[in-house]
Structure 1
Amino acid sequence: MAKHHDSAMSEQEWQTRVDLAACYRMVAHYGWDDLIFTHISARVPGPEHHFLINPYGMMFDEVTASSLVKVDLHGNKVVESDYDINPAGFTIHSAVHEAREDAKCVIHLHTNEGVAVSALEEGLMPYSQQSLFPLASLSYHAYEGVALNPDEKTRLVKDLGDTQFMILRNHGLLTCADNIPDAFLFMFIMQRACEIQLKAQATGQPLISIPTPILEGIRAQAEQVTRSAGGGLAWPGILRKLNRINPGYDQ
């Protein structure tokens, strides 16, 4: 791993930067990015409420550990950086980070399949094993327009409650977790569930839902289910893959 040159930076912050840069690049690898217009944020370990977010204008596959911008809850830079951030883009993230101590990482994307499912009246359906993870801890937020006003932040946080997965109607997907690997895995699973649902629905054939008792059992054990997802188990392999296909994220 490349080491940072800023001696004032903690080892924990550098590790968070490396993992967050890797997360950005993996989102790009799967084609889930939307040019420069979505965000993944992570809280910097420590007592301050400081966060890392992408430099505005950089493509997701270009993000590096050192280029991530450190901001406060209001999106103000707390360390000098050559890069700016998209303050409008940080609004959703700041709302979630502020309301949820456990939301150390927040991923918000506009994938084609995620937006498509968000526009379906029934939303995400229990058509696949993959869908059970998000359905165990899923919330919805109604569309209110492009820019988030302070009132909407309050409603978004209320809608999110203590869930880890959110579908923003007509807009996209959001996951949060207390670490970057889990937030990424949650998004991977929810995105897959959306892709599978749309493929199944596109056949026009009658669909079989997972039986309600199974779904209710999963929901009753929501915390254990999401905790056992195993983002940390998959993450070292994800980093090895990145080192093969798009190295340099840890610079």
Structure 2
Amino acid sequence: MLKRTLVLCFTMILILIMISAVSVIIARQKVIRVGVDGFSAPFSITNSFGDLSGYDVDIIKAIAKKLDYKIEFKIIAFTGLENNLNNRLVDVVLAPMDSNTPENQSRNIIYSKPYFFNYLTMMKIKGKEIKLNAEGDFEKNSMLCIPNKPFILNFVRTHYINTILKIYNGSNLAIDALYENECDVIIDTKSSNEYYRTKHNLNKLEIKPIYSDDAYNHTYKIAMSIHRPDLFEQINKGLEHLIQTGEINKIHQKWFSSDYCKQ
């Protein structure tokens, strides 16, 4: 009788251990480790308390909610994001990097559907007339405010040769200069111009895209390890849900005051 009781107790303990182990495995499977830079407004922003916010943060949270996943965010220096993904220290990476450029292509990384399209824009005071000639150049001696971003400077110096450039250490400083009539127009990315206009409720400003074959045109996608094809399928499923239901548009409106649109 005692022997039977001991066997029964041992069996029950073994079953409980197995159930606990399975529960732990399932719990681990339902967690997405997300790598973000944390200092790339408006995509991922870290406040003084270490709290994360941003367009990328809201996108992955909405996807995780749809898929019933939990998220563990890891703030990683921008230059270290790819290594962390390749070394399987994170499951996915969201950052403002063009997934189509050769330097961002890797045999170990796969990308989701696009979740953001970035390109060059011009921003000016509403009602102020800005004239362009037949070649698409500004009038001679037009004053352009430019944030100190090499790719923008290269584009402007190549295409707008008759203009006067004023270079600022930050998009927000360029906007201040525009409001103080130190220049006629700002040339910056869609993400920066729309974000700062939204953040500071600058309703007097209007933004227009710059059309050029060699302009800055970047497509942002969620990066994942090639070793997680299951996650790739799920992330795309969740992202498509956001697009179809219009939830991605609400997130886009929150950060940029404009509609998300496929290209």
**TM-score range, shorter-chain basis?**
under 0.3
Q: If you compute each CA radius of gyration, which structure gives the higher value, 1 or 2? A: 2
Q: TM-score, normalised by structure 1?
A: 0.27
Task: From the two aligned structures, give the one with the greater strand fraction.
Answer: 2
